[in-house]
Structure formats: C-alpha cells, structure tokens
C-alpha cells in the first residue's frame, strides 16, 4: 500500500502500480464492497475537511475506528509512500489524514516503501534516499508527532521483513497472479514487495492487536483485500455470528437477524423452516436470498437461534479444548467449532483474542481502510509525479507553484459570456479541487462560496485562478518554512539510508 499510484482502467480492475484516475467511484461500492463514508460522518467527532467535503468517500470497517475514537480505545493509523519522486500536494492530503487520526488518539505509523520503489519501479538507492528524506520532512512539517508515532523505511525494519516471510507461507503464486495479474516474467522481488506491504499493514498490531486504519487511494484496495485475508489466515481461531449449523455472509446475517427479531416473540423455539417461510414471503424475488434459502431448506427443522461461533483454524484439539473450558457461557462444543449462546460477539471475541495471544498467536484484527478521491492533474487527467506540470511538489519554488496554477486547465466554458449564463463546471475543475482539497483548509464556507460562485456564473476562471495561484504561493512559502523548522528532527531519526548501511 502506498499513496503514489493511480488507476484509470474503465473496466473494473484495480492495479496498485497503475497510473491513472478512477473514472467512477460508484463502481467501487458495487464491485468491491467498499462502503460509503458519508453515513459515518455524524458519529465522528471533529471530522476534518476531507471527510466533510466527500473527498474521503469510502471505507472498509471504519465503524471500529469511530468506536475507538469515541470510547478512547487504542487504535492505529498507518500509511506508506513509495519514494519515486518528491511528495506533492496530493500526498499532503494523506499526511493530513495520518496526522488527524494521530490527534484523535491513534498510534501513527508512516513508512517509506523503498523496497517497493526499488523492486517495482527500479529506482536506484541514491534516488530513493533523496526522495525518502523529503517524504519524512513533509510528514513532520504536516504535524506528524514522533512522540506518538513511528516512521520507518521498509528496508530497515527487520520485524516487517520477518512478518513478510511468515505471510509468504500463507499465500502462493497463483493467488498473486489472480490478484495482481503477475506473469511468468514478474520478478520475484516484486512479488516479495507485495508481501512486505502486507506486513507493513499488519505491523502496528505485532505488539498489541488493535483496529488499524489504512488511509489510501482506491487503487491500493487489492493490497487491503489480500492483507485482510492473510490476517484471518494467521488467526488460530475465527469468531463469527450464526443462527444454525450453517455459515452465513454479512448480508445474510442481516436478513437472519431481521427474521429472528420479527419471529422470536411469536414462537419459541423457532426452526429454520419458520425463517425460510418468512423470508420467501417478504422477499419473493430477492436474488441475494437464493443461497440463504438453500441453506435454510437443508437445515429444515433445526433450531434457529442466535449464537457466537468460534471456528478452530490452526490450533491443536487440546488447545481448542482449553479455549472451550475458558468460556463459561452456555455452549455446544463440536470437533472444529463451538457455539456460544446468550453472549455478545465483542465479549467472546475479546476472550478468544486474549487466549490466542497467550498461546503465541497473532490475533490480528482485519486491517481497515479509508479511501480518498485522487486529485486531478493541473494539465487534465491524472496528477502524477512523473508529469511535472500535472502536480506541484511540496518542495517546489512558490513562484513555480503560482505559475502552474495559472496555467492549469479548468472547468470553465468556451467564453465568459457562456460561463456567466451557464456557470462553470466546478466538479470537473482541477482548480476547484485545489480550493476544496488544500487551499481553503478547514474553512468550509470559503470552499462553498467558490463552488457556488463558479456554478452560478458569478466567478470567472481568470480571476479564480489568480486567487488560487496566490493562495498556492503562500501555502508553499508557509509549508517550506515549516520544513526548515522540522529539519533538525531528522537527526533524531535513526532511519538507515538503504540496506547496505545495515550492519
Ligand atoms: S471559475 Fe474557478 S472553479 Fe469555476 S471552472 Fe473556472 S477555475 Fe474552475
């Protein structure tokens, strides 16, 4: 996982090493099970401007982070950066996400994906060293607090590499081919860098398993999906909810819970036929229910009641037996799983996780992810480190930053007259994105005013760009002053420059 790549394949595939825009964010919800972020907003204390303005648009499991923030429970945030160039204004957004979570109480991690840059992009170690230093400076200038955070380079983190080796035992080449499209010609070090990324994602949990949020662009989702799988494969046990002998996915569990809530006051005990009848009557043509109906049909007269199920994945029978005796609630123990009644998922999950840690297991939580929109390039299309005019580096001369904004494409109409009549297309305008993502900072009313003035035709592109260009020049001056101020902190860091420096 890193925050340097883009994707523009219109067909629904996501390539973490691609280099283009996501055309339709809605496809990500439909095809990859990424959830919409907006529903969580009311429960988040002090959401930042990226959250409030819909720039952060999707997540996997962010509810756990909201709960951790609100109840002050431990959690972590981690993101990585591939040092293929200096950080630009698109990366500043990710710096801000990390720092925001750190301020909400997270232990923060930011890593330099130097092994990936070397393996997947072929960068020399000398180039990597220079860019890595600038990423670190950018993070520090954005407020990353070294007291409650950790910065590291992949190449110097032995624990990450050891974990990557363990993860390699849990996967194989054909899985890598199907996820990443690797071919017979893919270098093994590229493959190894994927395992290193997965290890990075799980690294915050090595000492203390806890919910960990990974802010990334949606092109990095394959890494998250793989790592979530690997995290569960390394568990000794899994804990799920169930209502009868069969297993159900998340959507099916929602249907089953609704059915139980409706029927349980009318009949005791319920059986699976009762539930099947209700679901078929209420949802006669719901395709989501086809598989579930088959399961209910097979279970037939089995008692239908809520339970928490522990499944033994990797523990010996003896250890599984010891876990069973640790649980005092009403239960039925089978050879490879046990069902616990009249208890909560959280309570049982805590017991199992604690037991697993006691017995040398990782007890990882599946990593959670937070997805932001990509910033458009100033020349149209993607913002890319390899297209100088498309981006503005955080280390760029402020005058050059000013000029790039002035030269930017816009969402303006063919003429001022038409723009006054029809309004501009702020939603397609890279300059508006500069205002929304960066230049108006936390001032929502300013961003809103730009949007309204643009779309109602009272704002024209020439003046709008001049205003944004001036703000950009000031932003770069201020930011580079902060970079100067944090430079002495670099000396406190013991990041090795590259692998040959290790002893
Ligand atoms: S007025 Fe500003 S926001 Fe609107 S299209 Fe022109 S440059 Fe973009």
Pick the atom of ligand 1 nearest to 408's CA. Answer: 7
Q: What is the mean pLDDT of residues 468-475?
A: 98
Higher-confidence residue of 495 and 45: namely 45
Q: How confident is the model at residue 11 (pLDDT cuts 50, 70, 90)?
A: very low
Residue 32: the pLDDT is: 64
**What is the chain's mean pLDDT, rounded?**
89
Range of weakest confidence among 245-249, 296-300, 379-383, 426-430: 379-383
CA of 465 to the centre of ligand 1 (A): 7
Q: How confident is the model at residue 250 (pLDDT cuts 50, 70, 90)?
A: confident
Q: Whose CA is nearest to atom 6 of ligand 1?
A: 461
Q: Whose CA is nearest to atom 1 of ligand 1?
A: 461
Q: CA–CA separation, 301 vs 281, rounded Å?
A: 18
CA of 499 to the centre of ligand 1 (A): 47
Q: What is the mean pLDDT of residues 470-493?
A: 93
Q: What is the mean pLDDT of residues 143-168?
A: 94
Pick the atom of ligand 1 nearest to 460's CA. Answer: 1
Q: What is the mean pLDDT of residues 21-31?
A: 62
DSSP class of residue 249?
-
Residue 6: the pLDDT is: 37
Mutate to test the pocket of ligand 1, among 407, 411, 469 (most ligand atoms within 8 A of CB): 411
Q: CA–CA separation, 225 vs 446, rounded Å?
A: 38
Residue 23: the pLDDT is: 59
Q: Whose CA is nearest to atom 7 of ligand 1?
A: 461
Task: Reply yes or no on whether the pLDDT at 470 is more than 90.
Answer: yes
Q: CA–CA separation, 186 vs 414, rounded Å?
A: 47
Q: How confident is the model at residue 437 (pLDDT cuts 50, 70, 90)?
A: very high
CA of 79 to the centre of ligand 1 (A): 32
Q: CA–CA separation, 3 vs 79, rounded Å?
A: 8
Pick the atom of ligand 1 nearest to 451's CA. Answer: 3
Range of weakest confidence among 63-72, 86-95, 185-194, 364-373: 185-194
Task: Reply yes or no on whether the pLDDT at 350 is more than 70.
Answer: yes
Higher-confidence residue of 1 and 412: namely 412
Higher-confidence residue of 313 and 492: namely 313
Residue 19: the pLDDT is: 43
What's the pTM?
A: 0.85
Q: CA–CA separation, 411 vs 461, rounded Å?
A: 8
**Tokens standing for residue 400:** 């050059």
Q: Which residues share a beta bridge with 78?
A: 109
Residue 28: the pLDDT is: 63
Around ligand 1, the residues with Cβ closer than 6 Å are 410-412, 424-426, 429, 431-432, 450, 454, 459-461, 464-465
Q: How confident is the model at residue 7 (pLDDT cuts 50, 70, 90)?
A: very low
Q: What is the mean pLDDT of residues 376-396?
A: 87
Query: In sequence order, which residues have a C-beta less than 8 Å from that of residue 26 and are 6 or more positions away?
Result: none
Higher-confidence residue of 478 and 34: namely 478
Task: Reply yes or no on whether the pLDDT at 20 is more than 60.
Answer: no
Question: What's the order of all strands across the beta sheet hosting 368-372?
Answer: 35-36, 56-60, 368-372, 212-216, 76-81, 107-112, 149-153
Cα torsion angle, 290, 292, 293, 299, sign: positive
Mutate to test the pocket of ligand 1, among 432, 456, 463 (most ligand atoms within 8 A of CB): 432
Range of weakest confidence among 10-19, 236-245, 330-339, 414-423: 10-19
Most confident of 14-23, 123-132, 377-386: 123-132
Q: What is the mean pLDDT of residues 31-57?
A: 90
CA of 445 to the centre of ligand 1 (A): 16
- E strands in 61-191: 76-81, 107-112, 149-153
Q: CA–CA separation, 113 vs 199, rounded Å?
A: 12
CA of 413 to the centre of ligand 1 (A): 9
Residue 380: the pLDDT is: 83
Residue 499: the pLDDT is: 44
Residue 187: the pLDDT is: 84
Query: H or E stretch including 36?
Result: strand 35-36
Q: What is the mean pLDDT of residues 412-428?
A: 94
Higher-confidence residue of 110 and 22: namely 110
Task: Reply yes or no on whether the pLDDT at 4 is more than 70.
Answer: no
DSSP class of residue 88?
B
Task: Reply yes or no on whether the pLDDT at 324 is more than 90.
Answer: yes
Q: How confident is the model at residue 27 (pLDDT cuts 50, 70, 90)?
A: low
CATH of 25-234+366-372, one of 3.40.50.620, 2.60.40.1110, 3.30.980.10, 3.40.430.10: 3.40.50.620
CA of 428 to the centre of ligand 1 (A): 9
Q: CA–CA separation, 353 vs 362, rounded Å?
A: 9
Residue 167: the pLDDT is: 95
Domain locations in the chain as residue ranges:
25-234+366-372, 238-358, 396-492
Listed residue (423, 419, 408, 484) closest to 456, CA to CA: 423
The dotted CATH code for 396-492 is 1.10.240.10
Task: Reply yes or no on whether the pLDDT at 503 is more than 50.
Answer: no
Residue 9: the pLDDT is: 35
**Tokens standing for residue 60:** 């996997």
Listed residue (116, 100, 96) closest to 4, CA to CA: 116
Task: Reply yes or no on whether the pLDDT at 15 is more than 90.
Answer: no
């Amino acid at each position: 996982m890193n925050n340097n790549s883009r994707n523009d394949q219109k067909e629904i595939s996501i390539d973490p090493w691609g280099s283009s825009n996501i055309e339709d964010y809605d496809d990500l919800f439909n095809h990859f099970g990424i959830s919409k972020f907006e529903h969580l907003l009311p429960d988040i204390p002090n959401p930042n401007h990226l959250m409030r303005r819909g720039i952060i648009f999707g997540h996997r499991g962010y509810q756990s982070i909201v709960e951790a923030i609100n109840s002050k429970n431990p959690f972590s945030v981690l993101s990585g950066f591939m040092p293929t160039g200096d950080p630009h204004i698109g990366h500043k957004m990710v710096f801000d996400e990390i720092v925001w979570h750190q301020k909400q109480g997270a232990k923060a991690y930011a890593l330099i994906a130097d092994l990936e840059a070397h393996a997947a992009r072929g960068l020399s170690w000398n180039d990597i060293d220079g860019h890595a230093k600038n990423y670190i400076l950018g993070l520090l200038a954005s407020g990353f607090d070294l007291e409650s955070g950790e910065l590291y380079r992949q190449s110097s983190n032995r624990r990450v590499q050891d974990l990557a080796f363990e993860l390699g035992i849990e996967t194989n080449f054909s899985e890598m081919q199907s996820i990443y499209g690797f071919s017979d010609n893919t270098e093994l070090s590229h493959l190894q860098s994927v395992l290193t990324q997965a290890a990075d994602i799980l690294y915050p949990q090595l000492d203390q398993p806890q919910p960990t949020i990974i802010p990334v662009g949606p092109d990095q989702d394959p890494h998250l999906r793989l790592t979530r799988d690997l995290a569960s494969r390394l568990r000794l046990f899994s804990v799920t909810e169930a209502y009868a002998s069969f297993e159900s996915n998340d959507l099916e569990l929602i249907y089953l819970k609704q059915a139980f809530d409706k029927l349980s006051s009318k009949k005791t005990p319920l059986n699976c036929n009762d539930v099947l009848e209700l679901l078929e009557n209420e949802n006669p043509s719901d395709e989501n229910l086809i598989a579930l109906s088959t399961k209910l049909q097979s279970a037939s007269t089995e008692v239908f009641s809520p339970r928490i199920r522990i499944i033994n994945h990797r523990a010996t029978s003896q250890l599984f037996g010891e876990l069973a005796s640790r649980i005092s609630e009403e239960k039925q123990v089978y050879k490879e799983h046990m069902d616990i009644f009249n208890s909560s998922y959280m309570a049982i999950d805590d017991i199992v996780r604690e037991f697993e840690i006691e017995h040398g297991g990782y007890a990882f939580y599946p990593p959670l992810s937070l997805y932001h929109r990509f910033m458009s390039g100033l020349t149209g299309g993607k913002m890319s480190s390899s297209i100088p005019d498309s981006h503005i580096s955080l280390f760029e001369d402020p005058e050059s930053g000013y000029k790039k904004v002035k030269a930017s494409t816009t969402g303006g109409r063919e003429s001022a007259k038409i723009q006054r009549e029809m309004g501009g297309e702020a939603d397609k305008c890279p300059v508006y994105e500069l205002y929304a993502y960066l230049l108006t900072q936390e001032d929502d009313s300013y961003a809103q005013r730009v949007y309204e003035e643009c779309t109602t035709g009272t704002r024209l592109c020439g003046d709008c760009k001049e205003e944004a260009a001036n703000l950009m020049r000031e932003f770069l001056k201020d930011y580079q002053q902060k970079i100067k101020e944090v430079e002495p902190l670099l000396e406190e860091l013991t990041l090795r420059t590259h692998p040959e420096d290790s002893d």
